[in-house]
Amino acid sequence: MKLKIILMAMFLVSLFIVILIAIRTKMPATVTVTTFPQAYNCVGLIDEEDSFTVEIMVNTKKSFIDVIENIVDASICNDNEFLRLKPAEIKLCSEPLYIRGNKYFLYCFVFLIDFTPETEISFEINPALLQINYSSGAQIKLNIGTFSYYKYQSFGSAVLSVVKLRGVVNDIDDTKTLAAVEIGLRNDSENNLRITAVKPLDLNLLVSGAESVVSEDLEFKSADLIADILDKPYYFFAAGTVDFSYRLEPNENISFLFPLKYHQLYSVNKLGFIVEYESDYANGKLVYDDFTFFQTNEYSRKAIDELVFYTYENH
């Protein structure tokens, strides 16, 4: 009798464990993903492979979305442009986030850019859709914002050095983004150099040359409003004059604050840039690799309200 009871108890416990495992491992029927659109940009050398990371929020850990082996191919594209990507890594990169009361897991999708030009080239995709095809036949297509990609022969310059970099970060229409960049330059040559332009390497931005100022004597913090620093109203979307001119004496070292104008508003937190200059002997340019000016851990209410949620069958 006792043996029967023990066997029955063992059977019930085993059944309970099996049911529990079945419930826990059951794949949900659908999976919902979303991402915050932003200005992605990447600057690289012609002979180097570049990578970039997209943060994608997924409402379950049990889906086909985050299994790298399931991916057949990936690309950034729109109706006119196409750039092939190679998935390199997918990993959880935060504790769960709660958006509108729902739990989301933040995955970092790291892609290598499968593009090897032989000459300097710029590749600007606006809007940029991230398309991933899976072995099950499923395809996800997310609007990730814009993508700007630039390839150069070399970084730096033999006659000009960057000796300071700092960003001014403002909330523009509830979007935390770069409002200006402070760049320190040093003339390493024995001749005068004339700085003729500073060009940010992102399709959404240009430098307002006419409103750029020498920043040596300006005291400001990265979170200060650009209008307060310049001590006059500043308009982020107005057409600006890109022309800039400054004569840099041999060995002179000076910093400038370059306010930024936006063609369209996406958060920009890292940026490469070009400084163009003229000397008595030749014209040249200094290309600076993308530099991360800031990172934020908060998403504004507006950014959350504007999120687009994509739901797919969970194969």
Residues that bind other proteins (CB under 8 A): 50-51, 53, 89, 91, 93-95, 97-99, 106, 108, 110, 155-156, 161-167, 169, 176, 184, 186, 188, 221-223, 270, 288-301, 304
- Looking at the Cβ atoms of 160 and 207, the one nearer to other proteins is 160
**β-pair partners for 129:** 77, 143
Whole-angstrom distance, CA of residue 74 vs CA of residue 218: 46
- Looking at the Cβ atoms of 6 and 163, the one nearer to other proteins is 163
C-alpha angle 183/189/191, rounded to 5°? 105
CB of 39 to other proteins, least distance (A): 14
- Looking at the Cβ atoms of 105 and 134, the one nearer to other proteins is 105
Burial class (CB in 10 A: 0-12, 13-18, 19+), 155: middle
- Looking at the Cβ atoms of 187 and 240, the one nearer to other proteins is 187
CB of 11 to other proteins, least distance (A): 37
CA distances from 49 to 88, 114, 144, 277 (A): 12, 8, 21, 28
- Looking at the Cβ atoms of 79 and 190, the one nearer to other proteins is 190
Burial class (CB in 10 A: 0-12, 13-18, 19+), 213: middle
- Looking at the Cβ atoms of 224 and 315, the one nearer to other proteins is 224
Q: Taken in order 201, 126, 66, 69, is the CA torsion positive or negative?
A: negative
CB of 213 to other proteins, least distance (A): 18
Q: Are 139 and 132 in contact (CB under 8 A)?
A: yes
Tokens of 92: 């959880």
- Looking at the Cβ atoms of 59 and 138, the one nearer to other proteins is 59
Q: Are 105 and 58 in contact (CB under 8 A)?
A: yes
Whole-angstrom distance, CA of residue 70 vs CA of residue 137: 10
Q: How far is C-alpha 85 from the chain's CA centre?
A: 16
CB of 16 to other proteins, least distance (A): 29
Tokens of 226: 């650009």
CB of 110 to other proteins, least distance (A): 5
**β-pair partners for 213:** 257
Residue type, 249: E
CB of 278 to other proteins, least distance (A): 21
CB of 155 to other proteins, least distance (A): 6
